[in-house]
Amino acid sequence: MSEIWEMGAVEIARRIRSRELSSREAVEAHLRRIEAVNPKLNAVTQLFGEEAVAAAEAADRALKAGQAVGPLCGVPITVKEDVAVGGSATTRGLVARRNAIATRDAPYIAELRAAGAIPVGRTNMPEFGMRWHTDNALHGATRNPWAADLTPGGSSGGEAAALAAGMTPLGLGSDGAGSLRWPAQCCGVAALKPSHGRVPVVSGDLPPGPIPFAFQLLGVHGPMARRIADLRLAFRHMCSSAGGDPWHVSAPFEGRSPDAPFRVALISDSGSKPHPALAGALTTAARLLAEAGYIIEEREAPFLVRSTEIYTQIMDTFSRTTAERQPLPPGLVSPAFERFWAGFTPHWQEAAGERTHDPMMERATIARAWSDMMEDTPLLLAPISSQPAWKVGADLEPEWGAGWMKALRTVVAVNLLGLPAVAVPVAVTEGVPQAVQIIGPRFREDLCLTAAEAIELRLPRITPINPRLGAAG
């Protein structure tokens, strides 16, 4: 039998229900794994050891008494530090928020608890979630389990690293510009970026704080795991309660199956030539989908360049809580973040392209064009970033940002249009994992998950791994 920390959420839940494994054993195995490997990676930032063991014991008593338990009974989970877990700090990577204790769970954390999941810890993220590498002045840097000299990604880099190293079978994070999918690519795990409005994005503070329009429109929360089945299980227990989110939409988990043959558009050219390893991953994924019966057609995504520009304009203009752009208070962020943002800002402004008076009008035009494309090819197979995980510190160099928004075009288009996407690892090239994303029509996460699982089932499992603290290659 596999070590408990090597199992996925579905397997753990099944073994607990069949009494092959106790909830306490599952929780304690992951707490021991965190104790063993987290000092090498710095992915888990807060532990709920006593509380988690107590919750596991309560679950075991309920099972023994023959009481009804949820489908995630006894499954340990970890939660990124920008998602509210009642009684713990929602720091968003900031020293100034180290004591910002949430008064209640985010709605979907409460829903996952009700289904039986047990939070065992919080995971690291960059300051504000506004960097594609995980580091901050509060907790320090998270290391990639595959190679210490490579970024684990960001902003859900702590979750991705914890999953890849077996510290958790299931993680919860957020995605405003690839923050679930990019770390999944860097660390070789899976992630689901849900449709806009599917999972409520609500603060755990009372009274709740303001959420700028850009984050309401472009940001979502979703699950990360090592197996697609685990994403599906978690997702089914994250969507029911709106919790005050005005964008929340109750939609069925499965929709009508598109007419056969099922076509997938391969978006291989995003305006940034894919690195050979990523090009190879796309080719492999296309071949595996074809073996599963999908018809692959190479196509161009409409308005891909303009999608990036409109995304950037909305985020640049509507991501603040004040009318005027306010300077960061001295000492709020780390010197590394200041250096990153100073170097990236000119490239960010350039990525906005020609300004429009009404970005939502153009967004609607782009959305219609993508909808028309998906009438013929309901799914898109595309890169996440067209570049693999880069060396730690690369994003602190001024020239780094010149091509980064181009590399992320298919990522930010998905955020702009509110579409679902699943990141699935495909290969390990020169010791580094590579992943692709499956993009679907709005509220058709089921189609994305099924296609991603068709790829996954034809590949060997690559995680969890013991941390490899040498250099890549």
The pLDDT tens digits of the residues spanning 143-183 come to 999 999 999 999 999 999 999 999 999 999 999 999 999 99
- CB neighbour burial string for 301-315, b if at least 16 within 10 angstroms, e if fewer: bebbebbbbbbbbbb
Mean pLDDT (the chain, rounded):
95
Distances (CA, A) of 156 to 92, 176, 349, 417: 11, 11, 24, 21
Phi, psi of 85 (to 5 degrees): -125, 115
Q: How far apart are CA 333 and CA 170, in angstroms?
A: 29
This prediction's pTM: 0.97
Q: Which of 22, 23, 80, 195 is catalytic?
A: 80
Q: Which of 174, 179, 268, 307 is catalytic?
A: 179
Q: Is 40 a catalytic residue?
A: no
Phi, psi of 15 (to 5 degrees): -65, -35
Q: How far apart are CA 419 and CA 405, in angstroms?
A: 19
Q: Is 155 a catalytic residue?
A: yes
Long-range contacts of range 285-293, CB-CB < 8 Å, 24 or more positions apart?
Answer: 285/381, 285/424, 285/426, 285/436, 285/455, 286/381, 288/426, 288/454, 288/455, 288/458, 288/459, 289/264, 289/381, 289/451, 289/454, 289/455, 291/458, 292/451, 292/454, 292/455, 292/458, 293/261, 293/262
Q: Is the peptide bond before 207 cis (omega within 30 degrees of 0)?
A: yes
Encoding tokens for residue 420? 């679902």
CATH code for residues 4-456: 3.90.1300.10
Q: Which of 22, 23, 88, 155 is catalytic?
A: 155
SS3 assignment, position 436? strand
Q: Is 64 a catalytic residue?
A: no
For the chain, give every domain's residue range.
4-456
What is the per-residue pLDDT for 326?
Answer: 82
What is the per-residue pLDDT for 273?
Answer: 83
CB-based contacts of 36, cutoff 8 Å, min separation 6: none
pLDDT per residue, tens digit, the chain (473 aa), is 589 999 999 999 999 999 999 999 999 999 999 999 999 999 999 999 999 999 999 999 999 999 999 999 999 999 999 999 999 999 999 999 999 999 999 999 999 999 999 999 999 999 999 999 999 999 999 999 999 999 999 999 999 999 999 999 999 999 999 999 999 999 999 999 999 999 999 877 767 778 999 999 999 999 999 999 999 999 999 999 888 899 999 999 999 887 778 999 999 877 778 899 999 999 999 999 999 999 999 999 999 999 999 999 999 999 998 888 888 888 899 999 999 999 999 999 999 999 999 999 999 999 999 999 999 999 999 999 999 999 999 999 999 999 999 999 999 999 999 999 999 999 999 999 999 999 999 999 999 999 999 999 999 999 999 999 888 86
Q: What is the pLDDT of residues 249-261, one digit of tens each?
A: 999 999 988 777 8
